[in-house]
Amino acid sequence: MTQIIGPALPQIPWQEKPAGETQPLWRYGHNPVIGRHGNAISNSVFNSAVVPYKDGYAGVFRCDSRAISMDLFAGFSQDGLSWQIEDTPIHLCDNETEVLRREYRYDARVCYMEGHYYVSWCNGYHGPTIGLAWTDDFKTFHQLENALLPYNRNGVLFPRKIQGRYMLMSRPSDTGHTPFGDIFVSQSEDLIYWGRHRYMMGAVKGDRSAWQSMKIGPGPVPIETDEGWLMIYHGVINTCNGYVYRMGAALLDIDKPWQVLYRSKTYILAPNELYECVGDVPNVVFPCAALADSGTGRIAIYYGCADTVTGLAFTTVDTLVQYIKDNNFQE
Ligand code: BMA
């Protein structure tokens, strides 16, 4: 038995595992949970982050507009299933206009830490890098310095200081549809200056685990457990029809999270359903948020589907940790 360390969330969105299901994750029966017209301007709503907020949920959503401009929008929900997403992008403020300079914003994660909600996202600043901001009300977002130099994507915070330092995963990249990518952890004492960069894990060359052979990137904010950090990520293979994005999971050392204890050799979710295989970018499942209930061990994962809509899938901490151990990838 693995114990989630963190608050109970008895109202977590949930469906029981269907009889006969053999895979570690099972999809919400009414997926997609958010369709492509999630707000007035959207062409697509995907790769978005939700967190418990007040007596319900809040989130930061990637809505690409019908001009195909990428930006972030706040949304609110009572049950985590039915969402009201705002029609205007989140309001970012700072004293430093250079920091507020906007090229594009996408793929947010939201991390509740020390009483604030921290947002990390892929921020255009002469190329993609990692933007950071905090909010208390999902109305005003206080933007911090970009955490890292371009080019980088998939910045994901750990939800507490570890050994006295904030920790941020990221995936150094290029300016295009990066055909490589490994995960690193950077450390900071103030959320401004990041250093002490550590290699965590990389794409798996060859065909031993080919679904993650081209690049990998961190997904939701990791879930703390008594066995280590439970980390869900995406893995990509390049095929004759283009990139295919699947989901994997790993267990990381609690004090040195760049040390991987176990990592799934077989994927945990793949684009199989029509809304995951057909859309603006076919064959993509891309996780950006996970809710966890320490009381029951239930986990609900929000993921982008085919860069078009948002899906929801369920598992339990015991199911996922056991799966990673039983299907461990060894170098
Ligand atoms: C990545 C990012 C993601 C997207 C994925 C698949 O590079 O742009 O937002 O989901 O490609 O298109």
Provide the H-helix boundaries in 90-206. 97-100
Q: Residue ranges of the domains in the chain?
A: 26-326
Give the mean pLDDT of the chain.
98
What CA–CA distance (Å, rounded) separates 129 from 173?
Answer: 9
What local confidence, expressed as pLDDT, does residue 331 receive? 80
Instruction: Profile the chain (331 residues) by mean pLDDT over runs of 10 residues.
Output: 98 97 97 98 98 98 98 98 98 94 97 98 98 98 98 98 98 97 98 98 96 98 99 98 98 98 98 98 98 98 98 98 97 80
95 CB contacts (<8 Å, ≥6 apart)?
none
Cα 307 to middle of ligand 1, angstroms? 7
pLDDT of residue 95: 87
d(CA 152, CA 233): 16
3-state SS track over 44-57: EEEEEEEEEECCEE
Tell me, in angstroms, the distance from the centre of ligand 1 to residue 297's CA: 30
Residue closest to 11 by CA, chosen among 313, 249, 296, 308? 296
How confident is the model at residue 79, as a pLDDT? 98
- pLDDT score at 89: 98
Rg of the chain, C-alpha, whole Å = 18
- Determine contact, residues 209/173, Cβ cutoff 8 Å: no
Q: Is the CB of 307 under 6 A from ligand 1?
A: yes
Query: Which of 171, 284, 285, 288 to mutate for ligand 1's pocket (most ligand atoms within 8 Å of CB)?
Result: 284
CA-286 nearest atom, ligand 1: 10
Q: How far is CA 311 from CA 114, 161, 168, 286, 325, in A?
A: 29, 30, 25, 9, 26
Residues pairing with 86 in the sheet: none
Residue 292, helix vs strand vs coil: strand
Question: Which distant-in-sequence residues (6+ apart) come within 8 Å of 199 by Cβ?
Answer: 182, 184, 258
d(CA 76, CA 59) in angstroms, rounded, equals 6
**235 touches ligand 1 (CB under 6 Å):** no
Max Cα–Cα distance, the chain, nearest Å:
56
Closest approach atom of ligand 1 to CA 304:
10
Architecture of the domain spanning 26-326 = 5 Propeller (2.115)
**φ, ψ at 258 (rounded to 5°):** -80, -10
Whether the CB of 47 sits within 6 Å of ligand 1: yes
Compute the distance from residue 114 Cα to the ligand 1 centre, in Å: 30
